[in-house]
Amino acid sequence: MRVLMLSTNFHPVIGGAESYCRDLAMGLAGRGHDVTVFTSPAPGAPAREVDGGVTVLRERPERGGDVSAWENGVFGLLPALQREVRLQDVDVVHANSQDTAVLGAVVSLQQHVPLVVTSHEVGREHGPLGAGRGRLVFSALPVDAYIAVSDYYRQVAAELGARRVHRIDLGVDLDRFRPGDTAAARSRWRVGRDEFVIGCIARFKPRKGLLELLDAVAQVRVLLPGVRLLLAGTVSSASRRYAAQLRARITTLRLGGAVRIVDCGHDQVAGLLRACDVYVQPSHVEGLGLAVVEAMACGVPVIVSDTDGLREVVRPQVTGLMVGPGDAGGITDALLRLAQQPGERARLAAAGRAEVADRFDLARMVARTEDLYRALLARRPAPDTVDGVDTGWALAGKVER
């Protein structure tokens, strides 16, 4: 199959949606499919490259001339997409976000190919015109199948009118995300052997609860001066204002020697996790929490907040510790508990790794997605046209839904 994946961001940008897209694309390419990812530019990344057998194209909307602000939106990408991709050869379009679903629908309608959407956005239905946006994506666009990677996403899609929702669990590459040489990893990230290292990977946005994590680190440092936090963050699809608040809080709490904000590409995540004694995900709301799964796969004990998505990943006291959202004191207590009890860290790490191996299989995710593509292609009606204008499949698709 020839698959066109649309993603707002891609490697080297880090994030759950980006990791999902890259892992799925490379997995499909490894199974012999021709996969192209059309995405946004990224610092230091070429406009065109082949990454793990996947063709990656990074384009900006066309600007200037007679193009209005309206046309500089999603439709501004149409000329670049048509120029760079042989759309007539595409068999399936897979939009990797609500933001890319509209562009995917245009390609689907133009080329008479199935459209699959995986939404990774959290809380967009509560944002500006959120109800209308959600209904457009989940009930109005001609989408053939929605993939929900967790019950949280399945419920959001259903509440906004989606049908044909397929639950396909996320998967992680256990050959890459596995326990490794901690000493080498600590040397790479410049942390000492005897320091108690906390890791967190998150976009800089308020729902990630990073201010509370900084408050907790400040409290832990009173009793444990050797505590260190490696915060791998990004402002991609996030808030520069919140990033500024984080840096101001670091200064106010005098954490400059204890907290480092680090640049970390997708290929470096496993190494960063291996440098950590514990991983913390303090989110106020989370759709799933792929970084938590990756940390567990690397044999790192986790502390997470009690949110819908993270409850699907972590069993409290069994595969990790759980605290209330926004509870800096709870994070402090959990960190001190694990800092003082290496046996507890080892127990949680072993249970977490076993849980990931059992539930979050990358090969299974790729195979189930491939099966979904094939099923959609098998049942898709041939287009009916009158004078070159399609009149058939879109209406037939609406009846099926």
Question: What is the full per-residue pLDDT of the chain (401 aa) written as tens digits?
Answer: 999 999 999 988 888 899 999 999 999 999 999 999 999 998 889 999 999 999 999 987 766 555 566 666 778 889 899 999 999 999 999 999 999 999 999 999 999 999 999 999 998 888 899 999 999 999 999 999 999 999 999 999 999 999 999 999 999 999 999 999 999 999 999 999 899 999 999 989 899 999 999 999 999 999 999 999 999 976 555 578 898 999 999 999 999 999 999 988 788 999 999 999 999 999 999 999 999 999 999 999 999 999 989 999 999 999 999 999 999 999 999 999 999 999 999 999 999 999 999 999 999 999 999 999 999 999 877 665 444 444 444 433 332 33
26 residue type, one letter: M
| Closest to 5 in 3D by CA, of 82, 118, 111, 83 | 118
Measured CA to CA, the distance from residue 90 to residue 36 in angstroms comes to 9
Question: What whole-number percentage of the chain has pLDDT above 90?
Answer: 78
What is the number of H-type helices and E-type strands within the chain?
Answer: 15, 16
Measured CA to CA, the distance from residue 112 to residue 8 in angstroms comes to 23
CB 281 within 8 A of CB 202: yes
Tokens of 326: 């926004």
CA dihedral defined by 305, 98, 132, 141, rounded to 10 degrees? -140
Instruction: Give the pLDDT score at 380.
Output: 74
Q: How many CB atoms lie within 10 A of CB 291?
A: 23
CB 87 within 8 A of CB 111: yes
Instruction: Give the pLDDT score at 396.
Output: 36
Q: How many residues does the chain have?
A: 401
Domains plus CATH for the chain?
Answer: 2-171+362-395 (3.40.50.2000), 182-359 (3.40.50.2000)
Sheet holding 259-262, edge to edge: 259-262, 227-234, 196-203, 278-281, 302-305, 321-323
Beta bridge partners of 305: 323
Instruction: Give the pLDDT score at 342.
Output: 96
pTM for the full predicted model: 0.87
CB 55 within 8 A of CB 48: yes
